């Protein structure tokens, strides 16, 4: 069997590349039975069919995976495989969002893959120093590179992150400039780039599927569609847990046990907000996460109730069918 790498995934087929040849491939039936399909970045073993197409026989062992939690179904989704560097791309325009950045940093930590934060569009911001300070505070030891992918300013520092064996992935919202970065690194206008809306800096999903490119100077790059919402996997040692621990410690100092942390007298949370011990962003992030957790809990309760009702209905139908069968036999 031959070995290649999955560079693009479509609904019914895969594009695999080996050396300078690309093949359109399908998968063996066992993949459909198991429900685990190849992902962009996977190394696979394949055979060439008589019609010149390929069939993937197996996925080679993976060195790394980036997974997220589906916002709609709450299930784990594999995004890409065999990546050893994550570029978290955030625009310095309306795309700028520290709380969302923290989620991407958390995703990188959970994946155990080194990350670099790329602050794009430095040519459009009037408060670069302030934004750099905020990002560096959230980033900790994670490297931060300000760039303008459009003009190329700062992009040499991004290029220097690559070695011959590097496979990097670009993660960020639609409109952050990932496709523009990809084109600069490729030295060609390979990825379509569209204007973003000026009112909210949101892009129009110019990249619609994950694609792996071989870079002319060595290494590989995966461009991905923008993600406005990012569901991170549950983890007992996450930044979200730290936020709740900080809030719990402050709440313990409140004058009343049922303090709403909004306008109650003697609220230690509001006092910490005034003194700077707690930032407005941390408070809003806590409230957002709390709402999400409550939603998931309610959804789980609703699903459990629905499942119970369905079981009761099936049991009733089973008993009723048995009763009718007895009556038909005259018993």
**What is the CATH number assigned to the segment(s) 2-59?**
2.40.50.140
Residue 323 or 44, more confident: 44
Residue 318 has pLDDT above 80, yes or no: no
Over residues 42-59, the pLDDT tens digits come to 999 999 988 888 999 999
Q: Boundaries of CATH 3.40.50.300 in the chain? A: 65-223
CB 230 within 8 A of CB 68: yes
Model pLDDT, residue 204: 47
Over residues 90-111, the pLDDT tens digits come to 999 999 999 889 889 988 988 9
Over residues 136-169, the pLDDT tens digits come to 988 989 999 999 999 999 999 999 999 999 999 9
CB 66 within 8 A of CB 114: no
Model pLDDT, residue 197: 47
Mean pLDDT of 204-211: 67
Pick 65-223's CATH classification: 3.40.720.10, 3.10.310.30, 3.40.50.970, 3.40.50.300: 3.40.50.300
Measured CA distances, 323 to 59, 310, 313, 314, 319 (Å) = 52, 20, 15, 14, 6
Q: Boundaries of CATH 1.10.40.50 in the chain? A: 239-308
Give start and end residues of each alpha helix (H) in the chain: 29-34, 98-111, 128-139, 155-159, 178-186, 239-251, 268-275, 280-328
**Average model confidence (pLDDT) across the chain:** 84
Residue 281 has pLDDT above 90, yes or no: no
What fold characterizes domain 239-308?
Answer: Ribonucleotide Reductase Protein R1; domain 1 (1.10.40)
The answer for residues whose C-beta is within 8 angstroms of residue 125's C-beta and 6 or more apart is 92, 93, 96, 131
Q: Boundaries of CATH 2.40.50.140 in the chain? A: 2-59
Q: What does pTM read for this prediction?
A: 0.72
Model pLDDT, residue 200: 47
Over residues 55-65, the pLDDT tens digits come to 999 999 999 99
Name the band, by pLDDT with cuts 50, 70 and 90, for residue 265. Answer: confident
């Amino acid at each position: 069997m031959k070995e290649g790498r999955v560079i693009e995934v479509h609904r019914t087929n895969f594009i695999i590349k080996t050396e300078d040849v690309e093949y359109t491939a399908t998968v063996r039936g066992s993949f459909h039975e198991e429900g685990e399909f190849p992902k962009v970045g996977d190394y696979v073993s394949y055979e060439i069919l008589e019609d010149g197409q390929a069939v993937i026989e197996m996925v080679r062992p993976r060195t790394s995976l980036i997974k997220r939690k589906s916002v709609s179904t709450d299930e784990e989704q594999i995004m890409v495989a065999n990546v050893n560097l994550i570029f978290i791309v955030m625009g310095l325009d309306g795309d700028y969002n520290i709380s969302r950045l923290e989620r991407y940093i958390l995703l990188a930590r959970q994946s155990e893959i080194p990350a670099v934060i790329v602050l794009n569009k430095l040519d459009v911001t009037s408060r670069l120093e302030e934004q750099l300070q905020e990002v560096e505070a959230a980033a900790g030891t994670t490297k931060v590179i300000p760039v303008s992918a459009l003009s190329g300013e700062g992009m040499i520092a991004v290029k220097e992150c690559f070695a011959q064996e590097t496979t990097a992935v670009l993660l960020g919202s639609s409109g952050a400039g990932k496709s523009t970065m990809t084109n600069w690194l490729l030295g060609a206008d390979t990825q379509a780039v569209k204007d973003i809306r000026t009112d909210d800096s949101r892009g129009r999903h110019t990249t619609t599927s994950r694609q792996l490119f071989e870079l002319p100077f060595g290494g590989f790059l995966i461009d991905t569609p923008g993600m406005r919402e990012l569901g991170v996997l549950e983890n007992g040692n996450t930044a979200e847990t730290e936020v709740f621990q900080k809030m719990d410690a402050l709440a313990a100092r409140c004058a009343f046990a049922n303090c709403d942390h909004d306008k109650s007298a003697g609220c230690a949370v509001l006092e910490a907000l005034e003194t700077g011990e707690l930032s407005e962003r941390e408070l809003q992030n806590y409230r957002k996460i709390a709402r999400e957790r409550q939603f998931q809990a309610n959804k789980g309760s609703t699903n459990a109730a629905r499942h119970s009702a369905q079981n009761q209905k099936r049991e009733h139908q089973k008993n009723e069918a048995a009763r009718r069968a007895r009556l038909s036999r005259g018993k």
